[in-house]
Amino acid sequence: MKGRIDEAISQYQEALRLKPDYAEPCYNLGNTLLLKGHTDEAIHQFQEALRLKPDYAQAHNNLGVAFGKKGQSDEAISQYQEALRLKPDYAEAQNNLGNALGSKGQSDEAIRHFREALRLKSDYTEAHYGLAITLALKGQMEEALREYQAALRLKPDYADTHNNLSFLWTEYPKALGAMASALDGQGKYADAIRFYQAALKAQPAQEDILNNLAWLLASCPDAAFRNGPEAVRLATRACDLTGYTRPLFVGTLAAAQAETGDFSAAIATAERAAALAAALHLEDIAATNRELIQLYRQGQPFHEKKGVE
């Protein structure tokens, strides 16, 4: 792949040598440099293409993409808007503008552009996914899940490989966590795990996400998704981040230890969770951990019951 990109760069540079006032090679060279990660050079080539051809909608769009990669959201938005002024039915620019507006917290405007992108191109996976994430941030989980499922129907592995939003949105990890919780509640454990993992990849020190994924891996009704050692690792990390002051997290660690078969550690940790919860007047959490201690003393881990959401 690297060799082909380098060869393409050489070819476009030669085309520019032969026709220095030709916008297309500038645009193509900009695209290739962007693929290689040479964002500043790509910006220069897109700007040169636009100097030669100011009404070049695709160059405005891709210049916006390059600005987005540098975190320059305002500049990116300006380029997408100009691309759409020149070409109103440009689905990719609608989607990209949705992403850029989402990165600035302008969710309603972002949703409008994602919907317009989908009106123009109904099988646009990226727009379905961007719309799902934006809706999740607004708490509209039912519709968000519908859009996510639409994206998966088009590209089943999309959530595993997608990263176009992660470099743009500071709220992206929060949205992924919300999607994960909703999928977990629906019993879609494989998807929930993927979203929890993606949220942690985007922002590793999210104690609530660490705890939620640890609980799922420790107590999932479906044994195929349980992973005691990984649950212990995640729960320990959540407790470390919070100084073992959150009884819910300490209780999750106990459940994870029980799932690995380390019942003596599970009992001691659950006792610690119960005492901490009682001291904080969190009686429900204290009572739950006391019940779980009896289970652990019988050499049994705790698993959620199937069908319970």
State if pTM tops 0.85: no
CATH number of domain containing 165: 1.25.40.10
96 in a domain, yes or no? no
Residue 291: name the closest of 247, 236, 250, 251 by CA.
251
Mark whether 69 and 117 lie in a shared domain.
Answer: no
pLDDT above 70 for 9 = no
Mark whether 275 and 234 lie in a shared domain.
Answer: yes
Q: Could you read off the pLDDT of 168-211 as tens digits, one per residue?
A: 456 677 778 888 888 898 899 998 998 899 889 888 999 999 99
Mark whether 112 and 43 lie in a shared domain.
Answer: no
Mean predicted confidence (pLDDT) in 137-166? 76
What does the block give as tokens for 285? Answer: 């959490």
Mark whether 219 and 194 lie in a shared domain.
Answer: no
Mark whether 222 and 193 lie in a shared domain.
Answer: no
Mark whether 137 and 228 lie in a shared domain.
Answer: no
Mark whether 180 and 133 lie in a shared domain.
Answer: yes
Mark whether 48 and 71 lie in a shared domain.
Answer: yes
Q: Could you tell me which residues come within 8 angstroms of residue 94 by beta carbon, excluding any fewer than 6 positions away?
A: 84, 113, 114, 116, 117, 120, 127
pLDDT above 60 for 161 = no
Residue 164: name the closest of 135, 194, 130, 204 by CA.
130
Q: How far apart are CA 4 and CA 57, in angstroms?
A: 26
- When divided into structural domains, the chain yields a total of 3
pLDDT above 50 for 308 = no
Q: How far apart are CA 219 and CA 168, in angstroms?
A: 34
Mark whether 261 and 234 lie in a shared domain.
Answer: yes
What was the pLDDT predicted at 121? 97
Q: Could you read off the pLDDT of 166-177 as tens digits, one per residue?
A: 444 566 777 788
> Residue 196 sits in which domain range?
105-204
Q: Could you read off the pLDDT of 251-298 as tens digits, one per residue?
A: 999 999 999 999 999 999 999 999 999 999 999 999 999 999 999 999
> Burial letters for 103-124: b for 16+ Cβ neighbours within 10 Å, e otherwise?
bbebbebbbebbebbbebbeeb
Q: Could you read off the pLDDT of 200-251 as tens digits, one per residue?
A: 988 899 999 999 999 999 999 999 999 999 999 999 999 999 999 999 999 9
98 in a domain, yes or no? no
Q: How far apart are CA 247 and CA 127, in angstroms?
A: 40
